[in-house]
Every structure is written in C-alpha cells, then in structure tokens.
A and B are shown apart, each in its own frame.
Chain A
C-alpha cells in the first residue's frame, strides 16, 4: 500500500516524464527532418547543379543555375525594397511616435501581418502587379517577398531602438543635435547589431517562401535575369520537381532543399547568436 505522499511523488514523476518525452518528441522531428534532407541532398549535390541550366528529363548533366541565380536576384531586390521601408517604419514607431497610440496600433498590426498567410500576399500581388500587365514578372515576386519582410524588419527595429537608453539621446540633444542626426549618428549606431539581426532573420524568413512566388515570379526553365519576365526560383522549382514524375528531378529538388535549408539555418543561428551575445535575449518567432 502506498502512502499519499508516495502517490503524489509518483504522479509528479509520471507527469514530468511525459513532459521530458514531449521535448524529445520535438527534437526527434528536428533531427529526423534535417537528417533526411542532409542524406538525400548530399547524395544529389554535384558541380553541374550550380553551373548548368536544366536539361530535358533523361539527359544527363542538367543543373539549376537558373534557379539559383533567379532566387538570388528576387531575394536581393526584395531585401532592397523591404529593409529600408522596415527600418524607417520601425524608426518612426520607436522615435517620433514613441508612446503615441498610432505607434501601438501599427506595432500590433505589424505583428499580425507577420503571420498573415503568405499565399494571400501572392494573390494580392497577382491582382495588382501581374494581372494588369498580363504576364508574370520577377518584380512581382520581389515585391511580394518585400511585403513579407517589412513587418518583420519594422518590429525588430522598433524593439531594438527602444532598448537604446533615452539618456543617450538626451546627451546628444544637449549638444544641439537635431533629432534626425541623433537617430542616425547615435541611436542607429547603438542599435546596429540588433537591426542587422532583424534584417538577417527577415531574409531567412523569405528565402524559403514558395507560396508568394507561385503566381508572381512563376517559374522559368531557362536562364533569365530579366525581372520583367518570369524568373525561376529555387523554391518554386523544388515544388515543381518534387511533384514531377522523374527521379532525376527528385534528386535535384533534394539538393536544392539542402542548400536552402543550410542557408536559412546559418542565417537563423547567426541572428540568434548576435541577439544572445549582444542583448541576452531570443527572437520572437
């Protein structure tokens, strides 16, 4: 017969064991998925993947050069559009509108925008940038990705600027500096590491996006750097190749998946590392 204390201890032990099990369950999937991508991807990696354009199925030696280059171009332009808007917007919330109701509202709306389904943004861009001109374009894809980046960059910038002590600004004000000079020369410098982290994490966020590119930049089996026409991207190519019937397509899709995953994980870990090292906190996901 067990005493009541023993029953309580046993109950606690069982419950805590389940929690530990849950943690291992989560880790199990992480290792399973990453390991699977690694095993399938490494076997399919070869130099021609990066140097050759796709060839018809059945012919040896095809690659995904067009998709790598296209993806790089689309993401770069998205960053060029999204980062300035996000950083400036975050600056406004943390500086000029600090403590105002409008800052609070935009901040909350951005948090919601971060999680809005990316495919909805794809349909929106299709309606405003693809349908009126009558063809898919790399620009449409870049703008769609930029829209996803803006709220991410905006929110991290706002948070990071808010961490800069107010007295630092007052010291600069006391020297007679106008607010914009204080922001650029004092606040931005103090928060540089944090803003950079926000940018890194936002790039990591959009590099793996597929849904917003499906009907904006579409896909292109040929090498094309023309942003006014359809541009190939790695993620859309992965989708097309994985759903296709050829095993050569499948292995190329795995190789592309591995490259994207490694790139994103490096960015994410780097971003998290900077945040921990500089601010002792972790990013909100």
Chain B
C-alpha cells in the first residue's frame, strides 16, 4: 500500500476514515442515547405494556404507544394504498408510453414533488386541501359508499377535513415520487431484447408491461414500495398540520388521531415531567427502530434487484 509510506497521506487516510465512520457512530449514538433517555419509561411500562396501552395521560403519568402506533399504521398503510398504483402507473408512462422528448421532463417534474419540503405540504394541506376534503370529497364519500354495511364504518362522523383521510392523502402525494422513481429505474433494467421478442410474437404494449416488464422488475418495485413505507412512517410536518393530535383509536377515517411523529412534534417541548419526556423518547426509539428495519429491508430488495439484473 503506497499511502503508508507518506506521513501526510496517513493523516489524510485517518481523517477521511474517521469522517466516514461518523455515519456508524451516529447510528450507534442515536440508538444508545434514545435507549438511555427512555430507560425510565421502559422500566415503568415495559415493552408490551407500552405498545398495548391506549393511555396517554400526562396528568396521571400513564403512557402507552397504542394510539400513536395506530395513527402511524393507518396513515402509512392508507397512503401506500393510494400511492402505489399511481406511482407504478407513472413509472410505466415514463418508461413505456411517453414519447422520448417527454420522458425526461415528466419524470423530473414528478421527482420535484419529493423536493417540496414537508412543511409546505402541511401548509397547503391545512389551508387548501382540508377545506376541499371537508366540503366536497368527504361528504361525497359518505353519501356514496358511507351507507354500505361494513365499509360505512370508515366514513362515520362529521367531515372536518382534519382527520386520518386527509393526512393519508397528503402522505400519498409525498411518497409517489419515491415509488415512481425506483420503479422507473427497475423497469429500465428489463433487457430490451426480451421486450422486443414479445413484441415480435405480437404482444400488445400492455401485455409486454404486464408479462415481461413487471415480473422482471418486481423486486425493485417492491423495494421502492418498502422505501416509501419507511418514508411515510417518519413523515412529521405534513401530517402534524392536518391530523389534530388526538390520542384515540377510531374506526372512522374522518376522525382526528395522532401518529408517533405528530405526538413528538407537538408535545416534546411541553413535557414537564421526567416520565413524560422519557415516554416521548421511548416513542422516538420505537420510530427509529421501525424505520431503520424497514429502510434496511428496502435497501436489501433494491440491491438484490440490481445484482440480479445488472
């Protein structure tokens, strides 16, 4: 190794090495700090006791994460359900349908959605989308499918616009570019020869997409979906504006709720007792672990897809 001969080179090696190790140090540091800060709450409530309790009562000093986990789960799942079909449609449009001169601009425009900061989504959601939801979309949903026996439960109550549904719609717009961008890369990995063979057999464009491109790229697309899931899980400001921070488990999508992130954003600076603050750190720890695992999974799928079809 030539760099060992020169002392300056050795210093440069060490400094740059330390800089790159900072990433590992940060991850370990975050994990240990969050664990030690939440130790008070972990001791008092335990793991199962914390995640299964619906209590969130600063006065009685009794805390549980169930309502927050519920809000996070519902908004995340709902936003994925809305975003994934749209994002895959966009990726198909950009890779297979659009004329060449439109491919770049439309793809870039969709990716610009990811550049808009979440606080802007929040502002827009609160002042523009929420009234539209409350006045038009939610009453329409209530009138049409709200009267069905089982599904109707989801659309009960007065539409206020500050609720789970609005938050999920905003989240879905935010994660569309992530799924779309990664699906687009995955679609582009499909060898042209195979697509051309299918066309030569007389397949229509949709048949090529469905039977050649999609099966070929399913790992990458799946990775993109899981990445979006990880993103949606930790999104804070966009949801904080329109969810209402109401700690409850509800069957109706027209009710206010709270996610882990919204609780942290709203209550962190208000926590006046040690156990309150410690419970908030406990929530942050759960969020960190969940998103880290989900993002690692996403990375695993995306890497596997790239390795399989280089």
Contact = CB atoms under 8 A, between A and B. Distances in A.
Do chains A and B interact in one complex? yes
B81 interface: no
Q: Interface SS of chain B: helix, strand, loop or mixed?
A: helix
B113 A30 contact: yes
A285 B177 contact: yes
Contacts of A12: 204-207
Nearest to B13: A96
A43 interface: no
A242 B3 contact: no
Interface of B: 2-3, 5-6, 8-9, 12-13, 15-17, 19-24, 26-27, 29-30, 33-34, 37, 85-90, 92-94, 96-98, 106-124, 126-128, 173, 176-178, 180-181, 204-207, 209-210, 227, 230-231, 233-237, 240-241, 261, 264-265, 268-269, 280-281, 284, 287-288, 291-292, 295-296, 299, 303
Nearest to B234: A117
A154 B23 contact: yes
Interface residues of A, number: 93
B24 A109 contact: yes
Nearest to A109: B23
A211 B260 CA distance: 13
Nearest to B184: A282
A210 B237 contact: yes
B19 A88 contact: yes
Nearest to B297: A112
A209 B117 contact: yes
A128 B89 contact: no
B207 A8 contact: yes
Given A179-B9, A211-B265, A33 B119 contact: no
A9 B296 CA distance: 41
Contacts of A264: 115-117
A26 B8 CA distance: 52
Contact of A23 (B93, B207, B296): B93
A127 B37 contact: yes
A89 B117 contact: no
A272 interface: yes
Interface string A77-98: 0000000111011111101110
A168 interface: no
Contacts of B178: 285
A67 to B, nearest CB: 13
Interface stretch (A13-21, A47-55, A57-65): A13-21
A235 B118 CA distance: 10
A180 B6 contact: yes
Given A19-B96, A261-B120, 6 more contacts: A92-B20, A96-B17, A97-B17, A238-B123, A242-B123, A242-B127
B19 A19 contact: no
Most buried by A among B23, B111, B291: B23
A195 B116 CA distance: 22
A150 interface: yes
Contacts of B22: 85, 89, 150
A116 B295 CA distance: 8
Contacts of A147: 26
Nearest to A27: B109
Interface stretch (A68-76, A221-229, A250-258): A250-258
A279 interface: no
A121 interface: yes
B2 to A, nearest CB: 6
A272 B37 contact: no
B268 A123 contact: yes
Contact of A120 (B24, B92, B227, B234): B234
Interface string A125-138: 01110000000000
B86 A26 contact: yes
A216 to B, nearest CB: 10
B97 A16 contact: yes
A121 B30 contact: yes
Given A16-B97, A282-B111, A235 B30 contact: no
Contacts of A18: 89
Contact of A204 (B12, B115, B127, B299): B115
- List 9 tightest A-B contacts by C-beta distance, closest first: A208-B117, A117-B234, A22-B89, A89-B20, A12-B206, A88-B19, A12-B204, A92-B16, A89-B19
B304 to A, nearest CB: 12
Nearest to B206: A12
B308 to A, nearest CB: 17
B128 A120 contact: no
Contacts of A90: 20
Nearest to A253: B123
B269 A96 contact: no
A280 to B, nearest CB: 11
Contact of A109 (B27, B108, B114, B181): B27
B119 A115 contact: no
Contact of A19 (B92, B227, B295): B92
Nearest to A29: B173
Nearest to B210: A15
A175 B138 CA distance: 72
